[in-house]
Amino acid sequence: MTKIAKQNKAHIKDNRISTIEQNTVVDDYLLPSTDDLIRLKELDPNIIEWIKHRSEIEQDARIRFNDNRIKIALKDLTSTFWINLICILFAFIIIISGILFSYVMIKNDMKTEGTVFAGATIVIAASLFLRRGRQNKQKK
């Protein structure tokens, strides 16, 4: 809970010089200022207790909101981890299957086809992994 003041300025030069300013003050306190509290107490002597009660409710709601955001982020990270693990496992199975298939082809006197198939399997697998690594770097 803070009070944040921001000031943005823009200078425009197009045949004339202009300046645009934007001032923003964000007050994130749960309680009003002391001057406001004094004025409110003059109107209603019980208002201070009501404000304190409402502030407690607001604070509890903020804590629950942040806890829920953390739970959602943790769930997202966990599901992403398992999806990546399953993808790697299936990629490994596909690569091993391609290598075993090429081994069977070589054993059945199809040496050229088996060698080409094994080489293609390795090249395709390497290019997929390299392309995925480049996509992750570009997203950051």
Q: Are 137 and 118 in contact (CB under 8 A)?
A: no
Over residues 34-45, mean pLDDT: 86
For all residues of the chain together, what is the average pLDDT? 84
| pLDDT tier at 82, thresholds 50, 70, 90 | very high
In this predicted structure, the answer to whether residue 23 has a pLDDT above a threshold of 80 is yes
| pLDDT tier at 139, thresholds 50, 70, 90 | low
Over residues 113-125, mean pLDDT: 89
- The tokens for 6 are 């921001």
Higher pLDDT, 13 or 90: 90
pTM for the model stands at: 0.53
What DSSP letter does each residue of 33-97 carry, written as one string? Answer: PHHHHHHHHHH-TTHHHHHHHHHHHHHHHHHHHHHHHHHHHHHHHHHHHHHHHHHHHHHHHHHHH
Q: Are 7 and 26 in contact (CB under 8 A)?
A: no
Place of tokens 């009501």: 50
**Domain regions of the chain by residue span:** 3-139
What does DSSP assign to residue 31? S
